[in-house]
Amino acid sequence: MVIDTRLCIGCGDCVVACKTENRVPDGLNRDWVVEATRGRYPQLTTEFRSERCNHCSHATCVHACPTGASHYWGDSNIVLVAPEKCTGCKACIAACPYDARLILHPDGYIDKCTFCAHRVARGLDPACVAGCPTHCMHFGRTDDPASAVSRLLASRSHKVLLPETGNEPNVFYLG
Amino acid sequence: MVEEILVTLRANEKVDPTLAIWGWEVPLYLYLGGLAAGLMVFAALTVLQRRDEQAPFAASRAVLWAPVVLSVGMAALFLDLEHRLYVYRFYTAFEPSSPMSWGSWFLVLVYPASIALALAGLRGGYPVLAALLTRAPGGAALLDLAERYRRPLAVANVALGVCLGIYTGILLSAFSARPFWNTGLLGPLFLVSGLSTAAALIVLAARHHHAEKTLFTRIDIGLILTEALLVALLLVNLATGTRPQIEALQAIFGGGHTVSFWVFFALLGLLVPLVLEVLELRGVCLWFVAAPVLVLLGGFVLRQVTVDLGQQSAWHRYEQGYDAALIERLREVGR
pLDDT at B48: 96
Tell me the per-residue pLDDT of B52-99, one tens digit each, with 9 for 90 and over.
Answer: 999 999 999 999 999 999 999 999 999 999 999 999 999 999 999 999
pLDDT at B17: 78
Neighbours of B326 (CB within 10 A): 14
Q: ∠B306-B308-B312 over CA atoms, to 5°?
A: 115
Tell me the per-residue pLDDT of B157-204, one tens digit each, with 9 for 90 and over.
Answer: 999 999 999 999 999 999 999 999 999 999 999 999 999 999 999 999
Residue-range domains of chain A with CATH: 2-174 (3.30.70.20)
Res. B322: pLDDT tops 50: no
Q: B323 falls in which pLDDT band (50, 70, 90)?
A: low
Mean pLDDT of the B110-123 span: 96
- Give residues 14 to 53 of B whose Cβ lies within 8 Å of A: 14-16, 19, 21-22
Q: B284 falls in which pLDDT band (50, 70, 90)?
A: confident
Q: What's the burial of B42, exposed, middle or buried (CB within 10 Å: 0-12/13-18/19+)?
A: buried
> Does 1.20.1630.10 match the CATH number of domain B25-85+94-313?
yes
Q: How far out from the chain centre does Cα A105 lie? A: 18
For residue A45, the 8-state DSSP code is E
pLDDT in tens, chain A (175 residues): 999 999 999 999 999 999 999 999 877 889 999 988 888 888 888 899 999 999 999 999 999 999 999 999 998 999 999 999 999 999 999 999 999 887 678 888 899 999 999 999 999 999 999 999 999 999 999 999 999 999 999 999 999 999 999 999 999 999 8
Task: Check CB contact of B10 with chain A, cutoff 8 Å.
Answer: yes
Q: B8 contacts in A (CB within 8 Å)?
A: 12, 15, 29, 32-33
Cβ <8 Å between A32 and B16: no
For residue B23, the 8-state DSSP code is -
- Give residues 75 to 104 of B whose Cβ lies within 8 Å of A: 80-87, 89-90, 92-93, 95, 97-101, 103-104
Res. B305: pLDDT tops 60: yes
Neighbours of A22 (CB within 10 A): 19
Pick from B61, B70, B42, B31: which is nearest to B217 by CA?
Answer: B42
Q: What is the dihedral of CA A150, A154, A158, A161, to 10 degrees?
A: 40
Instruction: Give the lowest-confidence range in B31-40, B202-211, B223-232.
Output: B202-211
Residue-by-residue DSSP string for B207-266: TT-HHHHHHHHHHHHHHHHHHHHHHHHHHHHHHTS-HHHHHHHGGGTTSTTHHIIIIIII
Task: Check CB contact of B306 with chain A, cutoff 8 Å.
Answer: no
Res. B320: pLDDT tops 60: no
Q: What's the burial of B210, exposed, middle or buried (CB within 10 Å: 0-12/13-18/19+)?
A: exposed
Complex ipTM, two decimals? 0.90
Neighbours of B152 (CB within 10 A): 12
Q: A15 contacts in B (CB within 8 Å)?
A: 8
**Amino acid letter, B138:** G
Kind and range of the H or E run holding B3: strand B2-6
Kind and range of the H or E run holding A173: strand A172-174
Q: What's the burial of B226, exposed, middle or buried (CB within 10 Å: 0-12/13-18/19+)?
A: middle
Res. B1: pLDDT tops 60: yes
Asked if residues A29 and A18 have their Cβ atoms less than 8 Å apart, the reply is yes
Q: B83 contacts in A (CB within 8 Å)?
A: 86-88, 108-109
Residue that wins the pLDDT comparison between B304 and A36? B304
Asked if residues A45 and A53 have their Cβ atoms less than 8 Å apart, the reply is no
pTM: 0.91
Q: ∠A55-A47-B310 over CA atoms, to 5°?
A: 50
For residue A130, the 8-state DSSP code is H
Contacts of B105 (CB under 8 A, 6+ apart): B91, B94
Q: ∠A50-A51-A57 over CA atoms, to 5°?
A: 135
User: In the predicted model, what is the mean pLDDT of chain B?
Assistant: 92
Asked if residues A59 and A171 have their Cβ atoms less than 8 Å apart, the reply is no
Instruction: Give the lowest-confidence range in A72-81, B6-15, B189-198, B307-316.
Output: B6-15
3-state secondary structure of A81: strand
- Give residues 261 to 290 of B whose Cβ lies within 8 Å of A: none
Res. B11: pLDDT tops 70: no
Contacts of B65 (CB under 8 A, 6+ apart): B36, B39, B201
Residue B223 CA to residue B97 CA, distance in Å, equals 31
Radius of gyration of chain B (CA): 23
Asked if residues B329 and B12 have their Cβ atoms less than 8 Å apart, the reply is no
Peptide bond into A97 cis (omega under 30): no
Measured between CB atoms, which of A38, A102, A166 is closest to B2? A38
A144 phi, psi to nearest 5 deg:
-105, 105
Residue B272 CA to residue A2 CA, distance in Å, equals 58
Neighbours of A67 (CB within 10 A): 28
Q: Where are the domains of chain B?
A: 25-85+94-313
